[in-house]
Chain A
């Protein structure tokens, strides 16, 4: 189904672009489906795509309260990597990385996956040792990782201040060469088109307002466009998880919703040819194909459902950027925005059957879930289709917190704002 090809480009160029079809239909909701996926973000759309493609389940609706891609899938800073420490995370994110490497081909949609690498800077000898340990843990599981010297880093990112007089001198870094970035909107659109062409109904401006129940069993949802029944109801609402679970009568979760901001500068000539992270604070940066610097830092740090950020973080992020790149002091910031992150108590996601019968839950992406988009949908579709997890998502249960099996890559404990 190569709708986009050199031939179709040429044909449409010659006939005034009249034959392109909309990327997805705008159907009205049916009375019932086999599966309802709540949330038309990256994870909900990829779930629907893999339900249809891998499991032949096509009587599926994706319900999105806003427009497609209006959540985090269109708000993130597009970094894709699998440089985790713990084996549960490494296996899952590396599965995602492998799906990314073939995604444009699989979707027949150019998601502009760019393996420009991801480099974590070390500023103390202890930190460099820690990165060596992480790199070894990654290589042990077959993931690429290389320690870099200051001279190699200087050649890779000439604008970076690596002098001894830098505010936080750079001592080296850990590079994952296969990591990189992808065009986030294209990921949403590509999955949406792929799911739509296989029969999935993508229904925008349709907010889920409650759950239809038969005793404990979830048998559908109430929405702003009427009641819709389904054998299986799957949640993929990212930062809204706490609120939507409350609609199902579950008021307590191991989750807090927080706001994360991101920033884009005016366009510059290429100066950062990788994804770069700062080791002495929380700051990361890459450069978009249009030349804008894309960067961000910490969460605002307190519960929030407002998709906008506060000024103290703006101040902090800018000062961390200048610690690394004093030469950017006069570059203007074009835009900033915020997105909602569902922060778990151990910083790792939840992909599971339940917690109510008939319900399936995909959440807890914190602020690292864009890179997970392919594997999240792939594993969630497996879990929905077979009523059991795939081995890649088996550790990511909801009850791991209560069973003492937390997956705390950063070792921060049950403090969401620190993950």
Chain B
């Protein structure tokens, strides 16, 4: 599997560290909403299809990336920096079958 890092270009998957479901919303640090914290720590979307997920290019530039990948075919549909603007697109992909 090749992941295209926006800085470094296409690189082998072994350079990256997987950080899972990219739809999780981290509560504000001072939040005392237990349900929100539990959901953030333990709950995952686990679709058989397009999945919106976070990877770190830990063996390269170390940037965190938002990747939309198909969990049935391992095809990568999009890659972008995790910070900035791509969350909503990802949300839609994550909910797809």
Residues of A within 8 A of B (CB): 240, 242-243, 246, 251-257, 301-306, 310, 312, 345, 401-402, 414-417
A341 CB to closest chain B CB, in angstroms? 12
Q: Are A305 and B45 in contact (CB under 8 A)?
A: no
Q: How far is the CA of A91 from the CA of B39 in the complex (A)?
A: 29
Q: How far is the CA of A310 from the CA of B74 in the complex (A)?
A: 10
Q: How far is the CA of A33 from the CA of B47 in the complex (A)?
A: 30
Return the contact of B13 from the options A252, A312, A414 (Cβ within 8 A): A312
Q: Are A257 and B43 in contact (CB under 8 A)?
A: no
Question: B58 at the A/B interface (Cβ < 8 Å)?
Answer: no
B1 CB to closest chain A CB, in angstroms? 6
* B7 surroundings in chain A (CB, below 8 A): none
Q: How far is the CA of A188 from the CA of B25 in the complex (A)?
A: 42
Whether A257 touches B71, Cβ cut-off 8 Å, given contacts A242-B48, A246-B47, A302-B53, is yes
Q: Are B20 and A304 in contact (CB under 8 A)?
A: no
22 contacts between A and B (CB under 8 A): A242-B46, A242-B47, A243-B46, A246-B47, A251-B95, A252-B44, A253-B44, A254-B42, A255-B46, A256-B44, A301-B18, A304-B71, A305-B48, A305-B71, A310-B1, A310-B74, A312-B13, A401-B41, A402-B35, A414-B41, A414-B42, A416-B20
Residues of B within 8 A of A (CB): 1, 12-14, 18, 20-21, 34-35, 38-39, 41-48, 51, 53, 69, 71-74, 95, 97
Q: How far is the CA of A305 from the CA of B50 in the complex (A)?
A: 11
* B39 surroundings in chain A (CB, below 8 A): 252
Q: How far is the CA of A401 from the CA of B43 in the complex (A)?
A: 9
Q: Which 6 A-B pairs have the closest CB atoms?
A: A242-B46, A252-B43, A243-B48, A401-B42, A305-B48, A254-B42
Q: How far is the CA of A300 from the CA of B34 in the complex (A)?
A: 32
Q: Are B44 and A255 in contact (CB under 8 A)?
A: yes
B11 CB to closest chain A CB, in angstroms? 12
Residue of A nearest to B46 (CB): A242
Q: How far is the CA of A256 from the CA of B23 in the complex (A)?
A: 14
Q: How far is the CA of A207 from the CA of B43 in the complex (A)?
A: 26
B52 CB to closest chain A CB, in angstroms? 11
Residue of A nearest to B49 (CB): A305
Q: How far is the CA of A400 from the CA of B74 in the complex (A)?
A: 32
* B42 surroundings in chain A (CB, below 8 A): 254, 345, 401-402, 414
Q: Are A306 and B71 in contact (CB under 8 A)?
A: yes
Q: How far is the CA of A256 from the CA of B71 in the complex (A)?
A: 11
* B71 surroundings in chain A (CB, below 8 A): 257, 303-306
Q: How far is the CA of A252 from the CA of B69 in the complex (A)?
A: 18
* B38 surroundings in chain A (CB, below 8 A): 401-402
